[in-house]
Amino acid sequence: MASVARWVGAGSVPVWLHAAWLLTGWLLSGWLLSGTASAQKPQPPGTVVADPFGVRCDQLVLQAAPRYWGAALVVRAGVVQLAKGYGYADRQKVPLGPQALFDCGPASELLTRALVLQQAAAGRLQRGESIAKALPDWPADTNAPTLDQVLRRVSGLPVEMALPANQRQAAAVVRALAKSAPRPGLERWTPWDAVLLALCAEGAGPQRFDGQLTELFGKAGMATMAPTNGRIDSRWLTLRRSDANERGEAATAAPYDWTVRGSSRLLGSVYDLHHFALWLASGALAADDLQELFRPVAAGRSLSVQNLGAATASAVVVAAETQGYRLRCTLHLPSRSWCVLFADDLTAVDAVQAALQAELAAAMAPASAPGSAGAGAPVVAAAASAAADPQRWLGRFALPGDGGRFVVEASEAGLLLRGEGVAAAARLQFGSWPGAHGPALQRLAGRGQAVLERLARGDATVLGEAFAVPAAGTRASDLVGELRASHGNLVRVEPLVVKTEPASAQFRWVGANGTALVQVRFAAGLQVAEVALDRGPAGQSLPLAVVRADVAAARSTQGPELRLTMEGRAGQRVLVFGDGSVGPEGLIECREVTGG
Q: What is the mean pLDDT of residues 44-52?
A: 90
Identify the pLDDT of residue 277: 95
Q: Are 131 and 196 in contact (CB under 8 A)?
A: yes
Alpha-helical regions (H) of 162-312: 170-179, 191-204, 209-220, 270-281, 287-293
* Least confident interval from 31-40, 69-78, 240-249, 478-487: 31-40
Identify the pLDDT of residue 32: 41
Q: What is the distance, to the nearest Å, from the Cα of residue 28 to the centroid of all Cα atoms in its chain? A: 49
Q: Comparing C-alpha atoms, which of 156, 160, 147, 158 is closest to residue 185? A: 156
Per the model's pLDDT, the better-predicted residue between 178 and 572 turns out to be 178
3-state secondary structure of 84: strand
Q: What is the mean pLDDT of residues 499-523?
A: 91
Identify the pLDDT of residue 426: 83
Share of residues in the chain with pLDDT > 90 (%): 40
* Least confident interval from 158-162, 176-180, 327-331, 530-534: 158-162
Q: How far apart are CA 380 and CA 208, in angstroms?
A: 49
Identify the pLDDT of residue 387: 41
Residue 380 has pLDDT above 60, yes or no: no
Residue 432 has pLDDT above 50, yes or no: yes
Identify the pLDDT of residue 383: 30
Identify the pLDDT of residue 309: 62
**What pLDDT band is residue 517 in, cutting at 50, 70 and 90?**
very high
* Least confident interval from 1-10, 201-210, 354-363, 418-427: 1-10
Residue 196 has pLDDT above 50, yes or no: yes
Share of residues in the chain with pLDDT > 70 (%): 84
How many C-beta neighbours within 10 Å does residue 56 have? 16
Q: What is the distance, to the nearest Å, from the Cα of residue 579 to the centroid of all Cα atoms in its chain? A: 17
Identify the pLDDT of residue 3: 35
Q: How far apart are CA 175 and CA 360, in angstroms?
A: 47
pLDDT digits (tens, 9 = 90+) for 105-135: 999 999 999 999 999 998 989 999 998 888 9
Identify the pLDDT of residue 411: 80
Identify the pLDDT of residue 546: 84
**What pLDDT band is residue 586 in, cutting at 50, 70 and 90?**
low
Residue 294, CA distances (Å) to 37, 300, 310, 361, 587 in order: 47, 16, 13, 20, 21
Q: How far apart are CA 251 and CA 230, in angstroms?
A: 12
**What pLDDT band is residue 541 in, cutting at 50, 70 and 90?**
confident
Task: Give the torsion sign (CA, 11, 16, 19, 24).
Answer: negative
Identify the pLDDT of residue 151: 94
Identify the pLDDT of residue 245: 60
Q: How far apart are CA 575 and CA 408, in angstroms?
A: 10
> Which distant-in-sequence residues (6+ apart) come within 8 Å of 455 by Cβ?
462, 476, 477, 480, 531
Identify the pLDDT of residue 183: 84
Residue 354 has pLDDT above 50, yes or no: yes
Residue 41 has pLDDT above 70, yes or no: no
Q: Are 318 and 328 in contact (CB under 8 A)?
A: yes
3-state secondary structure of 535: coil
Per the model's pLDDT, the better-predicted residue between 27 and 460 turns out to be 460
Identify the pLDDT of residue 570: 63
* Least confident interval from 63-77, 341-355, 465-479, 533-547: 533-547
Q: Comparing C-alpha atoms, which of 194, 170, 174 is closest to residue 105? A: 194
Q: How far apart are CA 297 and CA 378, in angstroms?
A: 34
Identify the pLDDT of residue 81: 94
pLDDT digits (tens, 9 = 90+) for 280-338: 988 889 888 998 999 999 888 899 999 876 434 578 999 999 989 999 999 999 889 99
* Mean pLDDT score across all residues of the chain: 82
Identify the pLDDT of residue 571: 64
Per the model's pLDDT, the better-predicted residue between 559 and 416 turns out to be 416
Residue 276 has pLDDT above 90, yes or no: yes
Identify the pLDDT of residue 259: 87
3-state secondary structure of 117: helix
Q: How far apart are CA 454 and CA 459, in angstroms?
A: 5
Residue 70 has pLDDT above 60, yes or no: yes
Identify the pLDDT of residue 224: 93
Q: How far apart are CA 234 and CA 159, in angstroms?
A: 34
Identify the pLDDT of residue 168: 65
Q: Are 342 and 358 in contact (CB under 8 A)?
A: no
Per the model's pLDDT, the better-predicted residue between 564 and 476 turns out to be 476
Residue 385 has pLDDT above 80, yes or no: no
pLDDT digits (tens, 9 = 90+) for 221-271: 998 999 999 989 888 999 987 666 667 788 998 889 888 999 999 999 999
Residue 378 has pLDDT above 50, yes or no: no
